[in-house]
Chains A and B, each alone.
Chain A
Amino acid sequence: MHSATLDAGTGWLILALFSALWIALGGYLGRRTVGLEGYMLAGRKVGLALGTATAMATWVTSNTTMAAPQLALQMGVWGMLGYSLGSVGLILFAPLAKRIHSLMPAGFTSGDFVRLRYGKTTWRVFLAISLFYGFGWLVSMGMAGGVLVNALTGIDYRIGMSVILAVCVLYTVLGGLRAVIGTDFLQTLIILVGVVVLAWLAISEVGFERMHTAALEKRPELLNLLMPAAIMFLFNNLLFGVGEIFHSNVWWSRAFAFREGVGFRAYLLAGVFWMPIPVVAGFIALTVPALGINVPAADMVGPLVAARLLGTSGAVLVFIVVFAALASSLDSLLAATADLILTDIYKGHFRPRSSDAELARAARWVVLGLGITTWLLCLPRLTTLAELLYFTGAFVASTIWPIAAGLFWRRTNPTGAALAMVAGTGIGLAGYFLIGFYVAALISAAVSMTIVLLSTWLRPADFDWSVLNNDAEIRA
């Protein structure tokens, strides 16, 4: 029987080859980066192909490729279907991306919108939520890098985590968003081809009939369509995903960076193409009963099935796919969080008169500083930090209504928006601790919605949309 773990030598070889590829590609693409808009927003002319691929690649994290089979093994068919509902966030963001681009063609960050739309108090509440989430995701991705490299190759956690983080920081520093989007395209192709090869092998070697019969005999719950925990997971995951995408600068910066008319189609296509990935990556777990694989840890089910079907090549394939998935999310997070720190914290709070040239220079230092901070937070391997992401469900879901209502309704009340985020987060967190993680996003979104609707109904505002298109206001 083949092991799911590669020897460290092969692991190092793959790490070295792909690290060199991403750094060389990032550096090559970044050579034409000019000025602040070139660095932060790739020149604001990203086309449909690169736009669609970057939205897909960023949303395919190592979680998608590793946790989808894990969820299928734990929650059966609904586990992978629930995960695939993460695509709803991308699809719903399509009209928002179009609206963002038309309202703020010269915008830089999601923080710009909240500051101009709702004022400074709401902006600061939003920044606290957004940065907390950004750091949470960044640290959990950094840690996932170290943990996965260790699990798949035996390379020490600290070394693996440091290499992956250093590679992503280096090419993001070199080329900014242009490097991120360019590498995302290739990473998307690698991920898609990798998961399809594995699925194809599972189908041809095991077959649906044998898979179904063995699962029905040994693990019938995997085929159960009425598993309550799985159905609750499905709704929570949907709202969590919508909250993550609606507020995060990762998605806003792309809406600003895409060429006129591209945002809507890119997000829609990305959502449609993303939807089947968790099913394709996840269903291989259903072959476990038929193949008689002993799974000591549920999160290793993907590599175990791959190694059984493909031998050492399977372990190599999984490692390459996981590295591509990690890099495509880490680089996007680094760039988008650094943009938020640069524009909304550094310029917005400390250096309001800084020029574009100064900001362009500072941008590289901010990415580097963010990378080093993330590395320091990842070093101790505090597993509790990985759980930050569950925790952030209450935070991000509270932003759904203030963002969506603020983009489409002139009358949305600014104070109500701030209150909705604070109360939604607070009451959502209470639900997290008193009931369970699966209700946090749901409660938070419901509370936030009620406050936004009530405050707007009782004290409607009268916002002037032209403020968002005023270059002087954006750069204020």
Chain B
Amino acid sequence: MTISVSALTLLVGAATLATMLAPLVLVILWVRDWIRRRLW
């Protein structure tokens, strides 16, 4: 049983998109914590 092109595209595409979003979310959270003085 072999993974199809579309399944591979979906798997890797979704993973790349999620990994791309992660730094953005972290920076947004950092700014939010910084504004609220809750970084540390």
Q: Which of A45, A224, A283 contacts B12 (CB 8 A)?
A: A283
What residues of A have a CB within 8 angstroms of the CB of B15 in the complex?
84, 276-277, 279-280, 283
What residues of B have a CB within 8 angstroms of the CB of A293 in the complex?
none
Within 8 A of A (CB), among B1-40: 1-5, 8-9, 11-16, 18-20, 22-23, 25-27, 29-30, 32-33, 38-40
A178 to B18, CA, bound (A): 28
What residues of B have a CB within 8 angstroms of the CB of A211 in the complex?
8
A258 to B33, CA, bound (A): 13
Q: Which of A45, A77, A273 contacts B8 (CB 8 A)?
A: A77
| Stretch from A5-13, A90-98, A195-203 forming part of the interface with B | A195-203
Flag A23-60 by CB within 8 Å of B: 1 or 0 each: 00000000000000000001101111110110010000
What residues of A have a CB within 8 angstroms of the CB of B9 in the complex?
208
A210 to B40, CA, bound (A): 48
* Nearest B residue (CB) for A197: B20
What residues of B have a CB within 8 angstroms of the CB of A280 in the complex?
12, 15-16, 19
Q: Which residues of B contact A (CB under 8 A)?
A: 1-5, 8-9, 11-16, 18-20, 22-23, 25-27, 29-30, 32-33, 38-40
Q: Is A376 an interface residue (CB 8 A)?
A: no
What residues of B have a CB within 8 angstroms of the CB of A49 in the complex?
26, 29-30, 32-33, 39
A273 touches B18 (CB 8 A): yes
Q: Which of B1, B16, B38 contacts A276 (CB 8 A)?
A: B16
| Stretch from A184-192, A240-248, A419-427, A450-458 forming part of the interface with B | A184-192
B40 touches A225 (CB 8 A): no
B30 touches A212 (CB 8 A): no
Q: Is A404 an interface residue (CB 8 A)?
A: no
What residues of B have a CB within 8 angstroms of the CB of A128 in the complex?
none
6 A-B pairs closest in CB distance: A276-B15, A49-B29, A279-B15, A49-B30, A47-B33, A273-B22
A275 to B38, CA, bound (A): 27
**Given A49-B39, A52-B26, A275-B18, 6 more pairs with CB closer than 8 A:** A49-B33, A178-B40, A199-B16, A276-B15, A276-B16, A280-B19
Q: Which of B5, B12, B26, B40 contacts A209 (CB 8 A)?
A: B5
A185 touches B26 (CB 8 A): yes
A42-B40, A47-B39, A280-B12 known; A224 vs B1 contact (CB < 8 Å): yes
Q: Is A220 an interface residue (CB 8 A)?
A: yes
A223 touches B23 (CB 8 A): no
A50-B40, A273-B25 known; A279 vs B33 contact (CB < 8 Å): no
| CB within 8 Å: A-B pair count | 98
What residues of A have a CB within 8 angstroms of the CB of B1 in the complex?
224-226
Q: Is A16 an interface residue (CB 8 A)?
A: no
A84 to B11, CA, bound (A): 12
**Total count of chain A residues near the partner, CB < 8 A:** 44
A276 touches B3 (CB 8 A): no
A223-B8, A225-B2, A280-B12 known; A48 vs B19 contact (CB < 8 Å): no
B39 touches A50 (CB 8 A): yes
Q: Which residues of A contact B (CB under 8 A)?
A: 42-43, 45-50, 52-53, 56, 77, 84, 178, 185, 188-189, 192-193, 195-196, 199-200, 203, 208-209, 211-212, 216, 220, 223-226, 259, 269, 273, 275-277, 279-280, 283, 286
What residues of A have a CB within 8 angstroms of the CB of B23 in the complex?
188-189, 192-193
What residues of B have a CB within 8 angstroms of the CB of A56 in the complex?
22
Max count, chain B CB within 10 A of own CB: residue among A42, A43, A273: A273
A199 touches B19 (CB 8 A): yes
Distance (whole angstroms) from the CB of B11 to the closest CB of chain A: 7
A279 to B19, CA, bound (A): 10
Distance (whole angstroms) from the CB of A187 to the closest CB of chain B: 11
A192 touches B22 (CB 8 A): yes
A259 to B12, CA, bound (A): 35
A43 to B39, CA, bound (A): 11
A70 to B14, CA, bound (A): 21
What residues of A have a CB within 8 angstroms of the CB of B30 in the complex?
49-50, 185
A212 to B5, CA, bound (A): 6
A53 to B18, CA, bound (A): 15
* Nearest A residue (CB) for B38: A47
What residues of B have a CB within 8 angstroms of the CB of A185 in the complex?
26, 30
- 7 interchain pairs (CB within 8 A)? A43-B40, A47-B39, A192-B19, A193-B23, A199-B19, A225-B3, A273-B18
Distance (whole angstroms) from the CB of B15 to the closest CB of chain A: 4
What residues of B have a CB within 8 angstroms of the CB of A223 in the complex?
2-3, 8
A196 touches B33 (CB 8 A): no
What residues of B have a CB within 8 angstroms of the CB of A45 in the complex?
38, 40
